[in-house]
Chain A
């Protein structure tokens, strides 16, 4: 069964603006990961945040995790046209079980 749900399903912004995507999940997790998928390509890992962490940064990416609300957000600052892609959250319930992906948010950044 699907664990994560991204919101919004689609997001269109201008270059230079910030993009925020949200992920909600249903059960307790071991960690939550964000991936990017460019059109016609495989998924690329962006950030992994563990259940005891609240925030992580990587370059222009900022991920937050609120385990009490069972939600996470991915913020991309100063977006570029090259950020155009689908973004997926994936949750790990416990070690040894499968990573479960959400349906993704499609981000379009226009110049």
Chain B
């Protein structure tokens, strides 16, 4: 009965490859997010979707493309992976967007680029 689940938990791949991370929430929330946490634990918003509509798109390389097939799912596809993409990627959800409500986080996907 995990509230926000991400797969895979670990992702080790070569530079230049394309990979996807999936996220699902069963909380009935209407807003989902992708965050990137670097090696110094700094957490930065990448994208936010409200009812399948993109509402926040921070300065992220266009190699990163989010997709929300429905309001319970938000996937992240990354093309042409680079060394600097190594990080932990967190999915989160909330009822209502824009930081006005608590956010619920998944346990992260640890991406390592060789």
What are the interface flags for B74-114 relative to A under an 8 Å C-beta threshold, 1 for contact and 0 otherwise? 00000000000000001010000111111111111000000
Known contacts A42-B90, A88-B43, A98-B48: does B108 contact A30 (CB below 8 Å)?
no
Cross-chain contact A43 with B90 (CB below 8 angstroms): yes
Q: Which of A31, A86, A101, A104 contacts B100 (CB 8 A)?
A: A31
B residues in contact with A79, CB < 8 Å: none
The docked-state distance in angstroms from the alpha carbon of A88 to that of B102 is 13
B residues in contact with A44, CB < 8 Å: 105
**Among B55, B98, B99, B105, which residue has the most Cβ atoms of chain A within 10 A?**
B99
The docked-state distance in angstroms from the alpha carbon of A98 to that of B42 is 15
Within the complex, the shortest CB–CB distance from A104 to chain B, in Å, comes to 5
B residues in contact with A95, CB < 8 Å: 98-100
B residues in contact with A48, CB < 8 Å: 101-102
Indicate the size class of the contact surface on chain B: 20 to 34
Q: Is the CB of A94 closer than 8 A to any CB of chain B?
A: yes
Q: Is the CB of B58 closer than 8 A to any CB of chain A?
A: yes
The number of chain A residues with a CB under 8 A from chain B is: 29
Cross-chain contact B42 with A42 (CB below 8 angstroms): no
Known contacts A31-B99, A90-B99, A104-B41: does B104 contact A98 (CB below 8 Å)?
no
Tell me whether chain A's interface is mostly helix, strand or loop, or mixed.
strand
The docked-state distance in angstroms from the alpha carbon of A91 to that of B42 is 14
The docked-state distance in angstroms from the alpha carbon of A100 to that of B40 is 16
Known contacts A42-B105, A42-B107, A103-B40: does B98 contact A96 (CB below 8 Å)?
yes
Cross-chain contact A99 with B108 (CB below 8 angstroms): no
B residues in contact with A100, CB < 8 Å: 45, 99
The docked-state distance in angstroms from the alpha carbon of A91 to that of B98 is 10
Known contacts A48-B102, A98-B98, A99-B103: does B4 contact A42 (CB below 8 Å)?
yes
A residues in contact with B27, CB < 8 Å: none
The docked-state distance in angstroms from the alpha carbon of A5 to that of B113 is 29
A-B residue pairs in contact (CB < 8 Å), sample of 8: A42-B4, A42-B90, A43-B90, A43-B103, A90-B99, A93-B99, A98-B48, A98-B58
